[in-house]
Structure 1
C-alpha cells in the first residue's frame, strides 16, 4: 500500500468517526429539547411549593433547633462521557464545600469512579442517561438517604451543575425550608388547615424534597447534555480540520505520483 493510499484509508476512518460523533450530537440535541420542557415544569412545581411553604411558615414558624452535626452532600455527576470536566468540577466544588469532614453520595458512574477509595464516599449510584431514567435513580437515592438518617438527623445538600447559573450550585435540602424566608402574614388570621400543622409541614416537606430532587436531576442532565454538545462540536471540527489537512497532503502526493509517471514516460520515449 502506497503512502497516499494509507492516507486515504485514514481519511475514510476519520469520516466514519465524524459521522458517529455528529449522530451523538444530534441525539444530545433531542435530549436537551425534552429536558428543557421537564426542567421548566419541575422548576414551576418547586417554586409553587416554596411559595406555599413561605405562606405557611408566616403563621406557623419552625421551632428553633440546633443544626444537625452530620453533613451529607448529594453529588449529581455524569453517567456517560464526552462532557469535558463535568465531573472534575463537581468534585472540586465538593472539596471546597465539605472539606475532609463532609460525606457524600455520588450519582453517576463516571463520577464515583473518580472517587474510588475516598473515605468520604458513603454510597455510589448509577446515574441517568436520559430523562426517563431519573425516577429509578431517585428511588435509589432516597433509599440511600433514608439509610443515612437511621444514624441520626443530618443536613442534606445537593451539588449539581446549574446551566442557568453557569456554575456548580449548592442547594440545601434538609432541614426542609432552612434557606426560606417566611412570608409576613397577610392577615391576623392564620389559614384554615385540614391537617394538624406539624403533619401538614411534614407532608409539604416530603413533597418539596421529591420535587426538588427531580428539578436537580433534570437540571444536571440538561447541563450535561449541553456540555456534551459543545464537546462533540469541538471534536467534530477538529476531525474535519484533520481530514482537510490529510486531503491536501493526499493531493500533493497524487501530483508527485503524476509527475513521476510523466518523467518515466518521457525517459522511456527518449530511450527508443
Structure 2
C-alpha cells in the first residue's frame, strides 16, 4: 500500500471516528435524560399503587381478582435502530424461554421483531419502537388500543411486559405483571382507620386507578427501552472507537515505516551515485 493510500485510509478512519464520537455523545445525552424521567415515573407509579391499596383497604368490596387460569398478553420492548450490540438478541433469548403457545405476543421494535422471527416465534402484533421522548405518547396510545382489543376478550387475564433496565451500570431483563395489578410490589401498608371522604363512587376510582397503572407502567417501559438501548449503543460505540484508534495507530506506524524506507532508499541512492563519481 502506497503512502497516499495510507494517508487516505487514515483520513477515512478519522472521519468515521468523528461520527462514532458524535453517536456516543448523543447516546450519553439520552441516557442522562432517561435517568431523570425513570426516577420521576417510578415515584408516580408507586403513588398510584398506594392510592389503589388505600382504596381497597377502605372499601373491601373493591378487590383485585385472583385467578391462575387465563391467557396472557405479553408485550416485549426492543429497538428499531441498530448499533446496539446484543441488546435485541438477549431479549429474544429470554422471550424464547418464557413465551407460551397461547400467549398474545406484542413486539415493540423492528430489530427485535427480526430477531424474534429468527427463533420462529409467533408474533400477534408489531409496532415500531420510540426513538425519542416526543414520540412515546402517540406510539403508546396506539399500542394500548391494540392491547386492550385483545385483553378485553374473556379468555385473557394477564398482561405482562418484558423490558431491559439498567441497575448499577448493569443491564437486566425484567418480566413484570401489569394487569391485574400486583399489589405485593408495595408490601404491607397501614392506612388510617378513618374512611376518606370521596366524591366519586369507589368503583369509578378503582377503574381509573387501574387504567392509570396500565398507562404509566407502559410509559415507563418505553423510557426504559430508550435508556437501555442507548446504554448498549454507547458501549458498542466505545468498542468501535477503540478499534478505530488501533487501526489508525497501525496505519500511522506503517506510514512511518514507509517514509523511513523511502528515506533510506534515497540515502543509499545518493551514496551509490557518489561512489561512481
> Please, which moves more after superposition, 12-21 or 90-99?
90-99
In the alignment, the residues of structure 2 paired with residue 137 and residue 210 of structure 1 have an alpha-carbon distance, to the nearest angstrom, of 12
Q: Residue 76 of structure 1 contacts residue 159 of structure 1 at CA under 8 Å; is this kept in 2?
A: yes
Kindly report structure 1 stretches of 4+ aligned residues shifted beyond 4 Å: 178-185
Q: Please tell me whether residue 266 in structure 1 is matched to residue 271 in structure 2.
A: yes
In the alignment, the residues of structure 2 paired with residue 58 and residue 183 of structure 1 have an alpha-carbon distance, to the nearest angstrom, of 11
| Offset of residue 145 of structure 1 | 0.1
Residue 108 of structure 1 is matched in structure 2 by 109
Q: Please tell me whether residue 141 in structure 1 is matched to residue 130 in structure 2.
A: no
Equivalent residue of 1:115, what SS? helix
Q: Please tell me whether residue 208 in structure 1 is matched to residue 218 in structure 2.
A: no
Gaps of 5+ in 2: none
1:254 aligns with one of 259, 264, 273: 259
Residue 13 of structure 1 is matched in structure 2 by 12
Q: Residue 75 of structure 1 contacts residue 106 of structure 1 at CA under 8 Å; is this kept in 2?
A: yes
> Please, which moves more after superposition, 162-171 or 176-185?
176-185
Gaps of 5+ in 1: none
RMSD of aligned alpha carbons: 2.1
| Offset of residue 268 of structure 1 | 2.4
TM-score, length of structure 1 as denominator length:
0.91
Matches within 5 A, 1:186-205: 186-205=191-210
| Offset of residue 167 of structure 1 | 0.6
| Offset of residue 103 of structure 1 | 3.2
2:246 aligns with one of 241, 249, 269: 241
| Offset of residue 126 of structure 1 | 0.5
In the alignment, the residues of structure 2 paired with residue 184 and residue 111 of structure 1 have an alpha-carbon distance, to the nearest angstrom, of 39
Residues 178 and 72 of structure 1: CA distance in aligned 2, closer, same or farther (over 3 Å): farther
2:163 aligns with one of 148, 160, 165: 160
Q: Please tell me whether residue 54 in structure 1 is matched to residue 53 in structure 2.
A: yes
Residue 128 of structure 1 is matched in structure 2 by 130
Q: Residue 31 of structure 1 contacts residue 225 of structure 1 at CA under 8 Å; is this kept in 2?
A: yes
| Offset of residue 217 of structure 1 | 1.2
Equivalent residue of 1:268, what SS? helix
Residue 87 of structure 2 is matched in structure 1 by 86
Q: Residue 96 of structure 2 contacts residue 121 of structure 2 at CA under 8 Å; is this kept in 1?
A: no
In the alignment, the residues of structure 2 paired with residue 41 and residue 181 of structure 1 have an alpha-carbon distance, to the nearest angstrom, of 17
Residue 34 of structure 1 is matched in structure 2 by 33
Q: Residue 59 of structure 1 contacts residue 185 of structure 1 at CA under 8 Å; is this kept in 2?
A: no
TM-score, length of structure 2 as denominator length:
0.89
| Offset of residue 254 of structure 1 | 1.0
Residue 21 of structure 2 is matched in structure 1 by 22
Equivalent residue of 1:79, what SS? coil
Aligned positions, number: 271
Q: Residue 107 of structure 1 contacts residue 125 of structure 1 at CA under 8 Å; is this kept in 2?
A: yes
Q: Residue 67 of structure 1 contacts residue 155 of structure 1 at CA under 8 Å; is this kept in 2?
A: no
